[in-house]
Amino acid sequence: MCWWADGAANQSWTRTSSGQLTVFSGGSQLCLDGYDNQTTAGTKVETWSCNGGANQQWNVNSNGTITETQSGLCLDVTGASTANGALAELWTCNGGANQQWSLS
């Protein structure tokens, strides 16, 4: 789910040298994960225990998009929602504002 940034630790993502996007939540390090190794548009994205799987490898692109290496699809806020709690998914890259991300 996506939430407005509030500076909490569970919103502080790190890109590892192996291409994983990790976050600490509940004292554990988790990875951004394409659900169940699926590679089709509409696949949900979740946090999951880091396991080095292809569905946990991401490219942070200079145009602001993040693409899953395995599928080539963009990280996308479902339905271009701006509401707290909106779901994230993999979707065909289209340049929409709901596919623009900033990692610092």
Q: What is the pLDDT of residues 51-94, one digit of tens each?
A: 999 999 999 999 999 999 999 999 999 999 888 888 999 999 99
- Checking if the pLDDT of 50 tops 90, the result is yes
CATH code for position 31: 2.80.10.50
- Residues 23 and 104: beta-carbon distance below 8 Å: no
The whole domain housing 79 covers 9-99
Kindly list the strands in the beta sheet with 74-77, ordered across the sheet, starting from the edge strand earlier in the chain: 58-60, 66-68, 74-77, 88-91
**Do the domain assignments include residue 86?**
yes
User: pTM value?
Assistant: 0.87
Q: Is residue 104 part of a domain?
A: no
Residue 9 in tokens = 């630790």
Count of structural domains within the chain: 1
